[in-house]
Structure 1
Amino acid sequence: MAKEKRKNHIPLRLNILFFAVFILFSILILRLGYIQIVQGEEYEAMVNNEGEQTANVDAPRGLMVDRNGNTVVDNELQLTLTYTNRPGNEDEMLEVANRLTDFLDIDEDDVDDINEREWQDYWLQTREDEADQLVNEEEEADLEDDEVYQLQLDRLPEEEVMDDIDEGERETVAIWTEMMGGYNYSPHRVVRGIDEETAHALSELTHELPGIDVMRDSVRMYPYGDSFPSFFGGTGQVPEEELDRYLGEGYERTDIVGRSFLERQYESVLRGEKAEITTDSDGNESTDPGKRGNDLVLTIDMALQQEVEDIIDDNIESSSTFTEDPEAHVIMMEPDTGEILSMASYDEDVSLVMGQYEIGSTIKMATVLAGYENDVIDHGTFYEDTPINLPESQPISSWRDLGAVNDIDAIRQSSNIYMSRIAMELADYELGVSGRDWSGAEQGFDALRNHYAQFGLGIETGIDLPNEVTGENERYSTENYLMMSFGQFDTYSPMQMAQYAATMANGGERMQPTLVKEILEPAAGNDESGSVVRQNSPEVMNTVGNTDEDFERMQEGMRQVMQQGGDNGGTASDDFDGADYNPAGKTGTAQTVDDNGEEAQNQAMVAYAPHDDPEVAIGVLVPNTSASDEDSGLANSITREALDAYFEMQEDQPEPDESDDDEEIFRDPEDDEE
């Protein structure tokens, strides 16, 4: 029987293999076609991008304009020299710094700003042989590098450093210390505002000056010079202690940010969108122009601001009443909106929101209102104004014995005794009763402070500035408790005084003070403002818990302070005689001790006008005037002249005076940081 022939399976396997190869080649061809036809442009762009270089250019910050449209903070374009630091390039940095002295004019102030440690660091780096001799070999063998360095610093005589560095070399040190201040791999601004000729010369030598570059930049300009100087705020590079936060928000290490006050408070608004300049492999440039930051419309009236500053200067400089460096502070605001019209100082502007002062009898309306709210006095309650002598306190009296006074009389004539009697009632202390004690003094203390807080006294006012202080408020003693009732213990800021004055004026609504009225986006041309992005509406922070009738009595007392003359007239009636805007207010004098231990007094006033339809409220404080000087009317005089100026400007709004100084005004953010 013949054998059955075995089938050959090879052709079938080959067919399967050929088919698989065919499928794979088909997929490959389709994929190549898809890449070439559909994604060709994308990959071509990627190839081109390998030769592209992109540079980001800082966009100018948003402008600030006053309530009348005057630009009060502007930008000026400039050229800036930058240096990019790298680890291990210490010798290169010194060489570059030395070369730059041929191109840059170094001010003597820049040299004076070099601190002792920077002089020592430079000396140690440039005098290596002498530095090595400061530490012997045996010591060096047992020490780490940083310990050797510290020992060299300790043994380096200061006079040797300064004697060894000549005048020409000191310019190199000034540039070198500035270069050292940058982060690694990030361009650091070394000199701002270089002229075009210098910029051109440096640009041609960048191959000889590694790390050096020239960039377009902008600097803040202040057309009205030193008016409202501090509260615009300062700008500078990202603070090292806040670097992580800024990097997390998309900033770069070398970005310019707001470092204080309005610049800091509104950083996210004022910050612009960077321009992007892209250069392809053929050298062609394309630019995304970026966008200037949004603009702030301030509530400040710059013409009024300048006038108030002049009023303060004239009054202070014509007086010799101060026991130490003169100060004076004025804040004017709209009572119904909280918009601040003027914030002016003599000497320390920041004291307007960060200063702490006893404000004297200006507190008395709040004390009487606390008495009403806590049902310890009624409208028209009388007390006999005669001195009070208690074993727990120093003798208390008014500026003179006033006889029988009611609540309105106590404001008009400024009775300390009336306020002390209210404080006693709040503490359940009965004058002249045997077995009396002060067990209720703490509850009285809290009752007064809680009521003061309803006016913004002793708490944050809510102003749109960073890091406002609230004042010093210590715990009570019997003497301090009574003194506090007429403004001789707790301390407050001028900003709190102005908010208090506005709350009295509008009948009990504590408005949030604001310096920014609205935010505008830049117009298409980038040099003017555009449409409104956000408008800050008036915000009531709280309503004081007194009745309208309570406020009407205190407002009447304040009216009489300024408008009722005669033997028992108001304490400021002479100063406001003839004021046709019908003001209302309260004077105050606090007895203090200055920093030199000398007896002094703080002069104060809170006021508003007109009394029947308030347009403006004002807080004025003049600290540390001489307690023995008869000229005790500085606060009254400043208030009168400031209110006169305000109402005159309502009839004829003048233009503010631009600065005559043609020089650029730079501001060091560290000078006015909170």
Structure 2
Amino acid sequence: MKRPSQNRKDKKKSHIPFRLNLLFFVVFLLFASLILRLGYLQIIRADEYQAEVDRTERTTITGSVPRGEIFDANLRRLVGNEARNTITYTRGRNVPASQMAEVAYNLAEYIEMDTATPFNADRQFDLTIRDLKDYVIATNQEDIRERLTSEELRLSGNESYQAMLDSVSEDEISSLPQRDLTAAAIFKKMNSAYSLSTVNVKNENVSQEEIARVSENLDSLPGIGTGTDWVRIYPEGDMLRSILGNVSSEDQGLPANKLKTYLAKGYSRNDRVGTTLLESQYEEVLSGTKSRLETETNTNGDIINQIEQYQGNKGDNLILTIDIEFQETVEQIAKESLALREGLNESIYIAAMNPKNGDILAMTGQALNKDGEVSDDTLGIVQKNFVMGSSIKGATVLSAYMDGVLTTSNNVMVDEPLNFRSTQTISSLYNQYGRDVINDIEALEVSSNVYMAKLAMRMGGVWEYKPNDTLNINGKQLLDKQRHYYNQFGLGVETGIDLPSESTGYAGTVATPGEGLFQSFGQYDTYTPIQLLQYISTIANDGVRIAPRLVSEIRDTNPENGEVGSLKTEIPPKILNHIDVDETAMDRVQQGHYEVIHGNRGTARSVFAGAEYEAAGKTGTAQAWFWDDDLRRNTAEVVNMTFVGYAPYDDPEIAVAVVVPYLPARSSERSNRENTRAAKRVFDAYFKTGEFSQNVTEEAEEETEEIEDLMSDEADD
């Protein structure tokens, strides 16, 4: 029989195997669960998880297409596109800089790039010190980070990267071998690409050999492609260059001031867009419809496939109202007139328009640049302001009719010197000391300053002139009233021309009683040449003011030959307003402009003598100041000579405005009459008369051919 103590020991021993068995059982269950889970994952959901591993993402990206082109009225190309071979890079999602740098280094074996740096060139670097440091960091990021202190390693964002830039010495980047310099230039281009966007790595001077080498190695160059790009060309050289506008480069991309607007319209940040003038004004027309590519990326963000969904469409073409042959002639007239400059005169502006529909027939500004060479300044037609003088007197007479202070029964006044207290004496050039009784038509013919001043006095409430009296006129109210009427002719307001950034001139701010009198004959506010042209066109068009237009049509591109295609949009004339004046009053002002050229005392009679067409017009001589851009102040008294006119008188086809600024103030030092003479030559060229007649042109061509033949014979001898 066992003792009690022995029984307790046996019971204690019997618990140990039980606990081990329990532990083993639990372990067994865990392993079983694990095996079952693995089996479930590998057998039941294997396909699902394999699909997750192989998952790709499809995204649609857009590509650029050639811009629409710009043609003259006879479909001669002014702005075109030139196709060029290009090597491109399309950046995938989350592609690190190190990967791009590796691709750039590999691509550097097959192509050449411009690699001027501060270390091997004096100016105009292709690669800056920052570009070189960016490349070095991308290729040696781990080594660069080891150079940083513990504090610098804790930095984030821009501060961290700046610490890495600071750690790269100039000695390190100045000794880079040529292939690395080429790779750095390529990396710079690639790094400018946004996620899932395409940039041109090289699109200038790409040889067929480079295209072939790259094409053969595309498998080892992820994201790199080859294709065709375009650049703007100008077959007519600098003609109208200052109004045709510019297109941004890929590096410039979207202008910052319109970034959000363009992005909202589906543009990419590096898209090339019109930045100025016609290119900007008609951006939506010229830009075309971008191509669409369905891009497939893997989980690493690498692009593994691209499928073209839509080829895209080239932009539509602009058809201008300008005939380039007539434009060439007008530009030559301007250059020949500028060659006869006197004093501080350094430019001339000429613009011609069809007054019935607003078509700009020709416009040019020719000016001396800082090197003393003649250059295109056509933009000055819409942006430069001048005191215009007597050429605006037609608007003054019609303003008085509209204001009710001038009628056919009270239109006779005395031209006599006007002397007021605290106001400069006003007299007419043709009658500086005597008295001459004239009506409104004669006032325009002889260019009476006094007649216009007396009209202004009436508009200010003073109907009787008393020598040496004080002008009891509210100067501000008078100027406001005059400007209200002048605005209806296009003076002092936007003309509506289809160009951005049009100037409206400058309105003087001081308002003493006498200023309204000087305003009446064009000696106060300033206007642009295009405003002057619209003003005379409004008179020629019986009081209907029409917005000037440079573009008359929008046409597509013929897909078969790439030439101008069918009409898409015809831009109609835009009527801005009608002058609210009696027909008789308009007839009288038109008659006054006719007498300027045909009357016995007309100020333009001698220049237009013998013209084979009947024209009407008005000359102008304005006292002004020459503004020195360098000194930022007025430096000398000068005279601006202007002319406005139209022809034929009874059925106008063309209106012309000419501005010749900054001629000598003293008449004894001034013989220049190019304001009127240039206008006459423009009319002659339009109607093909005088020196521009067909017979004269043919004779000149024959003489030119004979001279060329003689020179050729002498060269042979």
Q: Over residues 267-312 of structure 1, what are the superposed CA-to-partner deviations in whole Å (9 max), with x where a residue is unaligned?
A: 2222322345679999997774432222222211111111111111
Residue 370 (structure 1) aligns with: 399
Distance 1:634 1:528, change over 3 A: same
The letter of the residue matching 1:490 is D
Task: State whether residues 235 and 256 of structure 1, in contact with CA within 8 Å, keep that contact through their aligned partners in structure 2.
Answer: yes
Higher relative contact order by CA 8 Å / sep ≥ 6: 1 or 2? 1
- Counterpart check, 1:506 vs 2:528: no
Q: 2:238 aligns with which of 218, 222, 226?
A: 226
User: Does the Cα contact within 8 Å between 2:71 and 2:320 map onto a contact in 1?
Assistant: yes
Which residue does 1:188 correspond to in 2? 199
Shift of 1:251: 2.3
Question: Aligned AA for 1:270?
Answer: L
Q: Output aligned runs, 1:51-90, within 5 Å.
A: 56-83=62-89, 89=97
Q: Note the C-alpha offset of 1:571.
A: 1.3
Residue 453 of structure 1 pairs with residue 469 of structure 2: no
Q: Are residue 591 (structure 1) and residue 631 (structure 2) matched?
A: no
Aligned residue identity for 2:418: I
2:269 counterpart of 1:263: no
More deviation, 104-113/348-357? 104-113
Q: Deviations over 1:350-402 (max 9, x none)?
A: 11111122111111110111112212233362333333233332232222426
Query: Which residue does 1:573 correspond to in 2?
Result: 605
The whole-number CA distance in structure 2 between the counterparts of 1:467 and 1:61 is: 22
CA distance in 2, matches of 1:146, 1:285: 37
Structure-2 change in CA distance of 1:243 and 1:285 (3 Å): closer
The 3 A distance-change label for structure 1 pair 250 and 53 is: closer
- Looking at structure 1, the residues matched to 577 and 195 of structure 2 have their Cα atoms a distance apart, in angstroms, of 50
User: Which amino acid in the other structure matches residue 384 of structure 1?
Assistant: V
Counterpart in 2 of 1:443? 477
1:448-487 paired onto structure 2 within 5 Å = 448-478=482-512, 479-487=514-522
Which residue pairs with 1:241 in the alignment?
257
1:518-597 equivalences in 2 (<5 Å):
518-525=553-560, 527-565=562-600, 569-596=601-628, 597=635
Secondary structure, counterpart of 1:578 in structure 2:
coil
Distance 1:504 1:104, change over 3 A: farther
How big is each residue's C-alpha offset from its partner over 1:442-476, in whole Å with a ceiling of 9 and x where there is no partner? 22111210110010111111112223221111334
**CA contact under 8 A between 1:456 and 1:496: conserved in structure 2?**
yes
For residues 16-64 of structure 1, the C-alpha deviation after alignment (integer angstroms, 9 at most, x for no partner) is xxxxxxxxxxxxxxxxxxxxxxxxxxxxxxxx99799977543322232
- Change over 3 Å in CA distance of 1:240–1:435 after alignment to 2: closer
2:662 aligned to which of 611, 620, 624:
624
Is 1:355–2:361 an aligned residue pair? Answer: no
SS at the partner of 2:424?
Answer: coil
* Structure 1 contact 119–173 (Cα < 8 Å) conserved: no
Q: CA 1:599/1:616 → structure 2, altered by over 3 Å: closer, same or farther?
A: same
Check if 1:645 corresponds to 2:685: yes
User: What does residue 252 of structure 1 align with?
Assistant: 268
Taking structure 1 as the reference length, the TM-score comes to 0.76
Q: How has the CA–CA distance of structure 1 residues 357 and 199 changed in structure 2, closer, same or farther, with 3 Å as cutoff? A: farther
* Alignment of 1:303 onto 2:336: no
Contact 2:115 2:181 (C-alpha < 8 Å) held by counterparts: no
Distance in 1 between the 2:316 and 2:637 partners? 50
Q: Residue 408 of structure 1 corresponds to which residue in structure 2?
A: 441
Q: Distance in 2 between matches of 1:601 and 1:52?
A: 69
* Equivalent residues of 1:75, 1:221 under 8 A apart: yes
Cα distance in 1 for residues equivalent to 2:637 and 2:190: 50
Could you tell me which runs of 5 or more consecutive residues in structure 1 were left unpaired when the two chains were aligned: 1-47, 658-674
Distance 1:372 1:285, change over 3 A: closer
Change (3 A) 1:338 1:146: same
Query: What SS does structure 1 have at the residue aligned with 2:643?
Result: strand
Query: The residue matched to 1:409 in structure 2 has which SS?
Result: helix
CA deviations over 1:55-92 (Å, ceiling 9, x no partner)? 75433222322222323332222223445577862895
Q: Which one-letter code corresponds to 1:227 in the other structure?
A: M
Q: Tell me, in whole angstroms, the C-alpha distance in 1 between the residues paired with 2:649 and 2:82.
A: 45
C-alpha contact (below 8 Å) 2:106/2:221 kept by paired residues: no
Post-superposition shift, 1:433?
7.6
What residue in structure 1 maps to residue 22 of structure 2? none
Task: Write the deviation string for residues 532-573 of structure 1: whole angstroms up to 9, x where unpaired.
Answer: 3222222221001111111111111111112234xxx21111
Aligned twin of 1:610: 648
- CA–CA distance in structure 2, aligned partners of residues 232 and 109 of structure 1: 34
Work out whether 1:121 is the aligned partner of 2:156.
Answer: no
1:75-128 CA distances to partner (integer Å, 9 max, x unpaired)? 222223445577862895599489759844649899787589x84534765899
Secondary structure at the aligned position of 1:514 is classed as coil
Q: Matched residues in 2 for 1:591 and 1:139: separation?
A: 70
Distance 1:57-1:601 versus aligned 2 partners, 3 A rule: same
Distance 2:592 2:186 in 1: 64
1:643 CA drift (Å):
1.1
- Alpha-carbon deviation of 1:506? 1.1
Distance 2:658 2:228 in 1: 44
Equivalent positions of 1:147-158 (< 5 A) are: none
Decide whether aligned partners of structure 1 residues 523 and 407 sit closer, same or farther in structure 2, where only a CA change above 3 A counts. same
What is aligned with 2:450? 417
Deviations along 1:415-434, whole A, 9 cap, x unmatched?
22222121122112343189
Bigger CA drift: 484-493 or 228-237? Answer: 228-237
Residues 445 and 476, structure 1, Cα contact 8 Å, conserved in 2: no
The two structures, once aligned, show a CA RMSD in angstroms of 4.4
Task: Pick closer, same or farther for the CA change 1:652–1:203 going to 2, 3 Å.
Answer: farther
TM-score between both structures, scaled by the size of structure 2: 0.72
For residues 477 and 214 of structure 1, what CA distance do their matches in structure 2 show?
A: 67
Q: 2 CA distance for matches of 1:395 and 1:226?
A: 46
The alpha-carbon deviation at position 615 of structure 1 amounts to: 0.7
Contact 1:336 1:506 in 2 (8 A): yes
The structure-2 alpha-carbon separation of the partners of 1:298 and 1:384, relative to structure 1 and needing over 3 Å to count, comes to: same
The question of whether the paired residues in 1 share the 8 Å contact of 2:663 and 2:670 is answered with: no
1:15 corresponding residue in structure 2: none
More moved, 356-365 vs 190-199: 190-199
Q: Secondary structure at 1:594's aligned position in 2? A: strand
Q: Give the Å deviation of 1:150.
A: 9.0
Size of the alignment, in residue pairs?
596
**Structure 1 residues 553 and 282: CA distance shift in structure 2, 3 A:** closer
Partner of 1:661: none
Distance 2:57 2:276 in 1: 41
Tell me how far 1:618 sits from its aligned partner: 1.0
Partner of 1:393: 423
Structure-1 residue corresponding to 2:705 = none
1:171/1:286 Cα in 2 relative to 1: closer, same or farther (>3 Å)?
A: closer
Aligned to 2:453, the other structure's residue is in SS state helix
Change (3 A) 1:490 1:221: same
- Where 2:351 maps in the other structure, the secondary structure is strand
Moved more, 506-515 or 622-631: 622-631
Distance change (3 Å), C-alpha of 1:109 and 1:165:
closer
Q: Which moved more, 1:273-282 or 1:358-367?
A: 273-282
Identify if the C-alpha distance between structure 1 residues 490 and 434 changes in structure 2 by more than 3 Å, giving closer, same or farther: closer
Output the CA distance in 2 between the equivalents of 1:245 and 1:570.
55
Q: Structure 1's 98 and 397: CA in aligned 2 closer, same or farther, altered over 3 A? A: farther
Residue 480 of structure 1: how far off its partner (Å): 3.0
1:106-145 residue pairs with structure 2 within 5 A?
106=114, 114=124, 119=128, 121-122=130-131
Instruction: Return the letter of the residue paired with 2:551.
Output: V
The residue identity in structure 2 corresponding to 1:522 is: T
